[in-house]
Structure 1
Amino acid sequence: MALTLRWSSPGVEHSDCQVLQGINLQRDKLPPELEAGLRDQPHGTRVTHRWEHAEPLPRYREDDVLDIPDSAFNRHLRRRIIEPRAGRFYPRGFIAGVRGLLRENRTPFRVGSVGEDTLTVDLNHPMAGRDIELQARALDIRHSRRSGTATHDLVELAAHNGPGMQARWRGQPTDFWSDAPFRREDPAPDTRFYEKPRFVQHLDRAALAGIRRLYGALVPPESTVLDLMSSWVSHLDEVAAPTRVAGLGLNAEELDANPVLTERLIHDLNAEPRLPWDDVSFDAVVCTVSVEYLVHPVEVFSEARRVLRPGGRFVVTFSDRWFPPKAIALWEELHPFERMGLVVEYFLAAGGFGGITTWSLQGLPRPPDDKYADRLTLSDPVFAVWGHREN
């Protein structure tokens, strides 16, 4: 079963899909508005219902928003000093002692605001109090003789460990900018790191298929497309008849092996963020599993907007795999859903983008012939953020 949460925050739309295996409607708990529409229906059936104030999820409680002394945040809980930053999430162990919380508690809480001597912290579920639309889709149906009391709350599973964390706290910008976020383990020129071709797929086949479907849905037919930070594959297979695909990357041999590119350019965006194309040159810009390497992201996003035609989309996709020496330090510090929030802030800081949307896909089974299938049962998660040029 695929459960998709759709919701919104100020200026941003969100869609989070969780694929759940082995669901039993006799045993597991699903809201009756959805369960009734799925029973005795064929696979592929979709049922959607909308609730105000996240009725199937925990209610938002104002008494779970606390002002605590700044000293209650344990900056030394880990190997290095960690400062609390407005809008960011941290394990509750960082404020052990507040409301009896234990140091071992890893459930996330949010720092709402940072004062001189106090912190405002929010212990609510990140989805608490939001209006939500939930879609359930039966992917495969098998008859089972098992029954019994409910063992899983499916809505809780759909909203578990991430959804809501990509949105701002009460509409205020999240502080992703403190603490030298764009430093890297390997500050040497990227041209040196990517000098030798690798010809590797960074994600498993199911995750890449999800990215291809997404690009096919978001990039119009017969488009001109810029593939930023490109390689030997552009994942544009489901884009209908693109008329031009320009690839900007760092390894000539990999770009030459990419069959969909109609033009190729070696260009280091971390050395020179400006794109060597005229204004309004492309119908779409895509960036696949590479945004975590940008040290001048706002400048690059501004450039993506400049080369887009009005209404053209910039689509950024990523996962939880990267080259650690070249990723910015902040990336590894963030929860995967916070990374979507970071990319949203890139769009907002660049300016001129509308229709900003976040999208996530998790829980697909890993292909059995994947090289990590003996260690990982699930496909790599896919996260995406996109927006269109407004004018």
Structure 2
Amino acid sequence: MLLDDAFLVPEDAESAAGSTRLERTRRNALADVELALSWRSAQAAHTDVYAAFNLNLWRDWMPPEIEALLLDKPLGQTGGLKLAPGVLTAESNPRDVLDIPLARFNKRYRKNLVVEPRAGRFYPKGYIAGVRDIYSEDFTPFRVGAVNGETLTVDLGHPLAGHELTLSANILDIREVASERGGRAQDVQQIIAGNGPGMQARWRGQPTDFFADSPFARGDEDDDGLFYTRPRFVDHLDSTALKQVRRHYARLIAKGARVLDLMSSMNSHLDAALELSAVTGLGMNEDELAANEMLSRRVVHDLNRESRLPFPDADFDAVVCTVSVEYLVRPFEVFREVARVLRPGGKFIVTFSNRWFPPKAIGIWADLHPFERMGLVLEYFLESGRFANLKTFSLTGLPRPRDDKYASQMQWSDPVYSVWGEAV
């Protein structure tokens, strides 16, 4: 794994009252399992974690290699499995990359919207209906590899094809199944790799064209100071997701560090056990910052008006930015500034989810697949030229807390996505 050990702990497992707990997995058992897929691109290391709850080891479909990783195992980590090409995704096939006329891309596929194809971006296959017998209702993603005049290079393969993959399992809970009565089977391959992993990497090492079409335009271009005048004393993610964010930061930030919480609010989501020597909060609302008991210093500052940070060089050991990067309209300048105020080797950790204030988010954010958003943030890091050891992390599949106000409408906890690097 990209991270040194398992991410989830047994307390994250689903409680099933009355179920008989087992010491080892077996076919007539249910298991809650953390499945962590690790891989590398030319620019970064990646770990994508899926929390597979109520995995039915008799009914759910999985390749023999993954079955062997999970069966007859005790609670805890089962080790890593290097996956041969074709086990988790289809093998890389040169026939999946082809040149087509630009006219085959239906720019008006979405009602009342004209979409121009951009190199490196993903689109539903319905945009190129008729190519290779693709039909217009096919929403499976394909990638535009390159745009060359009146010709498009498109890649129909899986975004992980060609990458060396390692799968790790961490068994959180095992319980007996009293009887089998049918039901819906899970496709383990699909839940691990079918919903985005691979989309955060560049295509063949070429920068993704996120920056055409005015990507930083917003629905509300009025003064940000007016929008943030009224304090909002609410957390923007559910409690399970926020716990995972705190845990994520605790794994990456050293005890006693000096931390800048960039675009801060009433909470910094930093674990008190880190015993940080100082936490500076930079945000837009004075009342929200005042309510944040973690902060030792508070600075009201609008990064969209003035990207220069009011701190000396090498002033911090770590900088965190939590569910806010989507509001930056000058991200390149801000990322260079963050590198300046970090000591060499200090980490900049950007974390986000799938919830935001639409009027103030940059226009491209809502158009991207969640895993493409990690790719966008990676491009911010790469463009600055000031960070090394880049990494991405995703965590999906955890159940929403039962006491959450949206629990009746949403089954899953808010996903956690993160990109980070070390200042050079």
Residues 135 and 148 of structure 1: CA distance in aligned 2, closer, same or farther (over 3 Å): farther
Contact 2:344 2:422 (8 Å CA) reproduced: yes
Q: Report the counterpart of residue 231 of structure 1 in structure 2.
A: 265
1:104 paired residue number: 137
SS of corresponding position for 2:162? coil
Please state how far the C-alpha of 1:139 moved relative to its aligned partner. 1.7
- Which of 167, 172, 181 is the matching residue for 2:206? 172
TM-score (norm 1): 0.97
Name the aligned partner's letter for residue 116 of structure 2: E
Look up the equivalent residue of 1:10 and give its one-letter code. Answer: A
Q: In 1, Cα distance between the equivalents of 2:330 and 2:215?
A: 11
- Equivalent residue runs for 1:133-212 within 5 Å: 133-144=166-177, 145-146=179-180, 151-212=185-246
Q: 2:284 matched to 1:284? A: no
Task: Say if 2:155 is the partner of 1:122.
Answer: yes
> Whole-Å Cα distance in 1 between the matches of residues 187 and 245 of structure 2?
29
Q: Which moved more, 1:91-100 or 1:110-119?
A: 91-100
Q: Give the structure 2 partner of residue 252 of structure 1.
A: 286
RMSD: 1.6
2:42 match: 10
* 2:349 is equivalent to residue 315 of structure 1: yes
**8 Å Cα contact 2:38/2:165 also seen in 1:** yes
Displacement, 1:150? 10
Greater mean alpha carbon deviation, residues 237-246 or residues 13-22: 237-246
2:105 to 66, 70, 73: 73
SS of match in other structure, 1:331: helix
Residue equivalent to 1:44? 76
2:140 and 2:69 map into 1 onto residues whose CA distance is 34
In the aligned structure 2, how far is the partner of 1:54 from the partner of 1:344?
A: 27
Q: Normalization by structure 2: what TM-score?
A: 0.89
Rounded Cα–Cα distance in structure 2 between residues aligned with 1:253 and 1:111:
46
Identical-residue share of aligned pairs (%): 55
Amino acid paired to 2:132 = R
* Per-residue deviation, residues 121-177 of structure 1 (Å, max 9, x unmatched): 000011112100001121211112439899433133200110000000000000011
**Structure 1: tracts of 5 or more residues without a match:** none
In terms of mean alpha carbon deviation, does 72-81 or 223-232 score higher?
72-81
Aligned length: 390
| CA 1:280–1:329: 2 relative to 1, 3 Å | same
CA distance in 2, matches of 1:24, 1:263: 50
2:394 aligned with 1:355: no
Which whole-Å CA distance do the structure 2 matches of 1:147 and 1:332 have between them? 41
2-structure distance, mates of 1:95, 1:271: 41
Hey, what does 1:85 align to over in structure 2?
118
Cα pair 1:215 1:238 within 8 Å, conserved: no
Residue type of the partner of 1:91?
Answer: P
1:120 maps to amino acid: T
* Native 8 Å contact 2:100 2:153 kept in 1: yes
Look up the match of 1:29. 61
Cα 1:296–1:25, aligned 2, differ >3 Å: closer, same or farther? same
CA 1:148 to 1:33, structure 2 compared with 1: closer, same or farther past 3 Å? farther
Query: Following TM superposition, by how much is the alpha carbon of 1:37 offset from its aligned partner in structure 2, in angstroms?
Result: 4.6
